[in-house]
Structure 1
Amino acid sequence: MQENALLEMRDISKEFPGVKALDKVSLTVRPGTVHALMGENGAGKSTLMKCLFGIYSKDGGTIVLDGKEVNFKSSKEALENGVAMVHQELNQALTRSVQDNLWLGRYPTVGGIMVSEGIMRKKTKEIFSDLEVEVDPSAIMRTLPVSKRQMVEIAKAVSYHSKIIVFDEPTSSLTETEVEHLFRIINMLRDQGCGIIYISHKMEEILRISDDVTIMRDGTWVATRPAKELTMDEIIKLMVGRELTNRFPPKTNEPGETILEVEHLSGKYTRLRDASFQLRKGEILGIAGLDGSGRTEVLENLFGAMTKGGGVIKLHGKTIQNRTPKESIKNGFALLTEERRATGIFGIRDIRENTVISNLNSYLMGGICLSDKKMKEDTDWAIQAMHIKTPGQSTQIRALSGGNQQKVIIGRWLLTKPEVLLLDEPTRGIDVGAKYEIYQLIIDLANQGKGVVMVSSEMPELLGVCDRILVMSGGQVAGEVDAKNTSQEEILTLAAKYV
């Protein structure tokens, strides 16, 4: 083992049917440091960490933790031996309380028999107090926004007093304030001698928080460098194997006449109070706002995924209801949801089924059976158009990287030929190269006359892709700005208007 190494993974290999996910990858983490792990979607980052955490069984290589060779057979064994992992895709018991989720599988008991709610609540409050996490331990998990659920998951990992903690895209659903909070927690853990493995596509974060950076490409190790010696351009070149001179494609779309009018939209059971706006043909309209501002609720109420409290929706001057997603799809709407795993993919189904699921009527032959040939052709189109990395159409979608799952969902909706595309965090958890492809796709759709409404918590993304930006605050529209003539400061000022 290397001197001063807390964790050493040597020549780790892993194969799945039809694909070599890891090919002799090595990683060394020093105590009291943050080691960033970077690479495009499908590079093998999460697979490497799942081999460490006992979710996958490695095919070859050696793992040495604190001077002792280990080979965890389960995540429970990993946690008991000082390795914790905060997953990109949250997998929580949504109908249970926060404290139940925190202590699941290790409930504190009285006399080794009875579960003690009092002890559990006391310990939860102590952990939250130490980490300055403001969440009610008795709250039901599904009632919390994604960002709060993410902080609960982070607190759970810290509660194990682990030697190594893996953070897989931990800020993908956090606001800027919550990101700062997370960084304070990470710095505290680093000062305590913990080894942090930090997976992220956000290079500004990597360069700010990391001590060392390892870059992977196509399942192989590319480089390990001190973070202070790297620039953003160098990281991109190492990740994608080529120069990427611009983060955003040129905006070639030209908005035309108004196609969608929304008047005083509100949600019956959500925080959305009042949203009015117009969308033009060929326009990309961004929606900005802080967590809890009602950004996502605008899209969900427009799509019929949530019950409207009131308001009018007009498409081409004609009032429509969009009471259900089925009705919305019929009216030419499509919604890409924020939580890919929970509300986007059918994890145990294959790529083809996930691609064609929203467009089944178009494959009917004689109203009786589905055309396998047509479904195969459309899935082939989606794989090629979206540049999806997959061994084939029969691969289960859950075996793909998060970014490739996202591409499948976008391809699915494009097959419905939508007129209005609603995108909620479309590049969440996607690498810089794939992001550019998604941006170009969005602009191409606008060029085809589609109207696009896009929610994003990344302001550079909104400024780089959108024509106009609607700013939400406290469940209502706080203002509207021209993307070409505004700044992040102006958007943040509007976002705080009704807080």
Structure 2
Amino acid sequence: MSQAPVLAMRGIDKSFLGVPVLRSVDLVIEPGEVHAVVGENGAGKSTLMKILAGVHTADAGTIELGGRAVSFTHPLQAQHAGVATVFQEFNLLPELSVAENIHLGREPRRRGLIDRRAMAERTAALLSDLGVDDLAPAAKAKTLSVPRQQIVEIAKAMSQGADLICMDEPTAALADAEVELLYRLVERLRDKGVSVLYVSHRLREIFDLCDRITVLKDGERVTTVDTADITPDELVTAMVGRRIEAVFPEPLPGTETGEVRLAVTGGGNAQIDGIDLEVRAGEIVGLAGLQGSGRTEIAEAVFGIEPFTRGTVAVDGETRRITGPRKAIAAGIALVTEDRKAQGLALNQSVGANARMVLDANARVHSRARLARISGILSSLDLVSRGEDQEVQYLSGGNQQKVVVAKWLAAEPGVIVLDEPTRGIDVGAKHKLYAVIRSLAAEGLAVLLITSELIEVIGLADRIVVLHDGRIAGELPGGATEQQVMAYATGRSPA
């Protein structure tokens, strides 16, 4: 007799304020299966996951766990039924220990008191079962790195006896090297017979980890297919509804490499040293390297957040002393930070207010002529919104990122630094943003691109500067192989 699916969601409908978000969606996950759910932003992935987690209630349809019909109106009901969800935003209490977070509300007791020894022993055994032996149960959550916090979230899910663990963009905040740790955890869960629902925009992870893939588009299920039976190009076509012949657009006609716009010579501070870097007009230079290699530190030094204390910086041939962001802006340097929500946008303000933000805050670049250009800039970026009065928080991730770019273009910079510009946006929005980056170069800007996704830096950059341990380890032409980049990134020379 065949075993019942771990999860069977059938005919799921959900609307918000009369707007359909999910329409008759089916999702079936087998025991011990890693099952991907993919689609563009707005496809319905998060809503489907929140229904399964008990955050939302479906308007129609049925849910079965292990062949038993269930209906959740609260997340605790889902947890008690064996469904655990690891969201992008972790739910750890920073002042509590690893053991206390894992067992919160379910602490072992002895004579009415919390048995801390038993709790620590259970935690150590649970972590060991996941193949993690270097995480102390007594460590405070606030002292842990992002991947270590993620381990704690997964361990917490396991401690609840979960048969199904749902992971929402689990690698969004991880560097490439840290992703390998998550791979091992997911494979360990599969080996133990635990099923995983895996939501991610990163196609490489989907093909590396997942047994089957369900594609959602505009709130409907397009297909469910074995991973072995579909190619990345075919998957992208299913997700966006059109074929993307080239993931990375070619340089636009008329793009020319001109004079050096940004030159760093012998740059250094407490985190980086000996940085010699040039970016020319019309050129995209990629910074690659593992987490902690110095990529973001270079961006912050160029922009004056953590200034260079050694060496020189020249913009358009003029040596500039960049001791803070205001001086960087006055020199014609822009920085699109890696966390658009925390650092790049005022989410409860309008598109227009956000687009004017740099001009309004910096008298040296403020002018009526530049303010008048903002509407044209937003239009040139193909921003999808109800208008400039719409609050930014209601835009998709890709359109939010376009607003961040627009606020900097309003200041008419000569150099733009893009730090993780496509983080947390879907494959279709990424393709549109790649076209924006190409257009910036075509307009004569010098573009310094930082991304943890090797395929992006290889596909977009004209030159790739690879960092290791705070220094430049080597330089490669655009189109170099991942193996060549990783060789320099790990302190070796490419073969």
Task: Say whether the fold is shared (TM-score over 0.5).
Answer: yes
Q: Distance in 2 between matches of 1:21 and 1:489?
A: 42
Partner of 2:465: 470
Deviation by residue 1:21-63 (Cα, 9 ceiling, x = unmatched): 3223221212211111111122121222122223334444333
* CA contact 1:216–1:239 (8 Å) conserved in 2: yes
Q: Distance in 2 between matches of 1:204 and 1:46?
A: 20
* CA contact 2:99–2:123 (8 Å) conserved in 1: no
**CA separation of 1:46 and 1:406: change in aligned 2, threshold 3 A:** farther
Q: Distance in 2 between matches of 1:453 and 1:322?
A: 17
Partner of 1:255: 257
Partner of 1:433: 428
Give, in angstroms, the shift of residue 474 of structure 1: 0.8
Q: Distance in 2 between matches of 1:99 and 1:239?
A: 38
Say what the alpha-carbon RMSD is for the aligned residues: 3.6
Q: How does 1:137-286 map to 2 (within 5 A)?
A: 146-252=146-252, 253-268=255-270, 271-286=271-286
* CA contact 2:377–2:409 (8 Å) conserved in 1: no
Q: Distance in 2 between matches of 1:82 and 1:37?
A: 19
The answer to whether residue 21 in structure 2 is matched with residue 26 in structure 1 is no
Identity level (%): 38
Q: Equivalent of 2:490, from 459, 472, 496?
A: 496
Deviation by residue 1:275-334 (Cα, 9 ceiling, x = unmatched): 221111111110111122111111122223335554432212333343333443333222
Q: Distance in 2 between matches of 1:215 and 1:338?
A: 28
Q: Distance in 1 between matches of 2:95 and 2:412?
A: 39
* CA contact 2:261–2:414 (8 Å) conserved in 1: no
* AA in 1 matched with 2:489: A
**Which region of structure 1 is more displaced relative to structure 2, 129-138 or 238-247?**
129-138
Give, in angstroms, the shift of residue 154 of structure 1: 4.0
**Which region of structure 1 is more displaced relative to structure 2, 82-91 or 297-306?**
82-91
Q: Distance in 2 between matches of 1:274 and 1:407?
A: 33
* CA contact 1:89–1:341 (8 Å) conserved in 2: no
Deviation by residue 1:106-158 (Cα, 9 ceiling, x = unmatched): 37365587667666655554444333444566666666554444444444444
Partner of 1:51, secondary structure, is helix
**Which region of structure 1 is more displaced relative to structure 2, 5-14 or 442-451?**
5-14
After TM superposition, the score normalised by the length of structure 2 is: 0.85
* CA contact 1:146–1:173 (8 Å) conserved in 2: yes
After TM superposition, the score normalised by the length of structure 1 is: 0.84
* AA in 2 matched with 1:432: V
* CA contact 1:38–1:215 (8 Å) conserved in 2: yes
Q: Equivalent of 1:414, from 406, 409, 428?
A: 409
Q: How does 1:281-300 map to 2 (within 5 A)?
A: 281-300=281-300
**Which region of structure 1 is more displaced relative to structure 2, 24-33 or 124-133?**
124-133
* CA contact 1:247–1:432 (8 Å) conserved in 2: no
Give, in angstroms, the shift of residue 387 of structure 1: 4.5
Deviation by residue 1:385-415 (Cα, 9 ceiling, x = unmatched): 4445556656554444444433333333333
Partner of 1:448: 443
Q: Distance in 2 between matches of 1:362 and 1:162?
A: 52
* AA in 2 matched with 1:467: D
Q: Distance in 2 between matches of 1:279 and 1:101?
A: 49
* AA in 1 matched with 2:268: S
Q: Distance in 2 between matches of 1:62 and 1:494?
A: 52
**CA separation of 1:58 and 1:411: change in aligned 2, threshold 3 A:** farther
Partner of 2:161, secondary structure, is coil
Partner of 1:43: 43
Give, in angstroms, the shift of residue 445 of structure 1: 0.2
Which protein has the larger Cα radius of gyration, Structure 1 or Structure 2?
Answer: 2
Partner of 1:106: 105
Partner of 1:324: 324
* AA in 2 matched with 1:199: V
Give, in angstroms, the shift of residue 459 of structure 1: 1.8
Q: Distance in 2 between matches of 1:106 and 1:273?
A: 48
> Which runs of 5 or more residues in structure 2 are unaligned?
none
Q: Distance in 1 between matches of 2:322 and 2:111?
A: 54
Partner of 1:55: 55
* AA in 1 matched with 2:436: L
**CA separation of 1:408 and 1:483: change in aligned 2, threshold 3 A:** same
Q: Distance in 2 between matches of 1:139 and 1:477?
A: 34
* AA in 1 matched with 2:38: M
Give, in angstroms, the shift of residue 73 of structure 1: 3.7
Q: Equivalent of 2:419, from 406, 417, 424?
A: 424
**Which region of structure 1 is more displaced relative to structure 2, 273-282 or 320-329?**
320-329
Q: Distance in 1 between matches of 2:295 and 2:32?
A: 38
Aligned residues: 487
Q: Distance in 1 between matches of 2:158 and 2:193?
A: 13
**CA separation of 1:321 and 1:99: change in aligned 2, threshold 3 A:** farther
**CA separation of 1:202 and 1:112: change in aligned 2, threshold 3 A:** farther
* AA in 1 matched with 2:276: S
**CA separation of 1:99 and 1:448: change in aligned 2, threshold 3 A:** same
> Which runs of 5 or more residues in structure 1 are unaligned?
none
**CA separation of 1:216 and 1:347: change in aligned 2, threshold 3 A:** same
Q: Distance in 2 between matches of 1:413 and 1:112?
A: 62
Partner of 2:129: 130
**Which region of structure 1 is more displaced relative to structure 2, 38-47 or 397-406?**
397-406
* CA contact 1:98–1:152 (8 Å) conserved in 2: no
